[in-house]
Amino acid sequence: MRFYYKLMLAAGLLLGVQQARAQFTGTWAKADIPLPYNRRYQVGDILFDPAQDRADFALRPSGRIYQYYNFNTTYSGGRPELRRQLLAALRTPPAGTSGSGYLTVRFVVNFRGETDRFRVQELDSGYQPQAFAPPLVAWVLRACRDLHSWQPGRIDAETQDSYFYCTFIVREGSIQDVLL
């Protein structure tokens, strides 16, 4: 797994600073990296970033991180319960927040039901990129990190690592709903 990270990083560096930055910070998939350097890459892969990710976050040795919908990675009580808990935790926004749109928090639920590698995408209501106030993003991220009843999906009774995301609908700086 680490070998591939290094290989992809090296490929990115060879191809230019912009691509290297995208690979290193684990933003969304780049389709323009030549295949020989990038064969295992998938849309939405989040690469390890030592600046923000836990080095001791355990993953299966296969290195394969599935999608939540591949085998129903979920939360105790199901998605409606997860929505209820997040809305309860996000009732009162930090002072001075504003803006409307979609705030998507994507992360990895590992085979132990722990989470890490959080990344955000911030869009306005017209699906254009925008930046919400940092305290608002930190507040939502904290609520997501504080969830501890994950039920990782299984293949042949063995729990696996998978990506999961929650999209928050923001209205005038408050969380109006969570899409799950």
Chain residues that interact with another protein, rule: CB under 8 A = 28-29, 31, 33, 35, 38-44, 67, 69, 72, 77-81, 83-84, 102, 104, 106, 121, 123, 127-129, 163, 165, 167, 169, 177, 179-180
- For residue 6, the number of C-alpha atoms closer than 13 Å in the C-beta half-sphere is 3
Closer residue to another protein (CB): 57 or 130 = 130
Closer residue to another protein (CB): 94 or 155 = 155
Angle at 122 between CA 38 and CA 75, to 5 degrees: 80
Q: What backbone phi and psi angles, to 5 degrees, belong to 88?
A: -65, -35
In the block, residue with structure tokens 């970033």 = 49
Largest CA distance in the chain: 49
CB of 77 to another protein, least distance (A): 5
Closer residue to another protein (CB): 121 or 174 = 121
CB of 67 to another protein, least distance (A): 6
CB of 118 to another protein, least distance (A): 12
**In whole angstroms, what is the distance from residue 54 CA to residue 158 CA?**
23
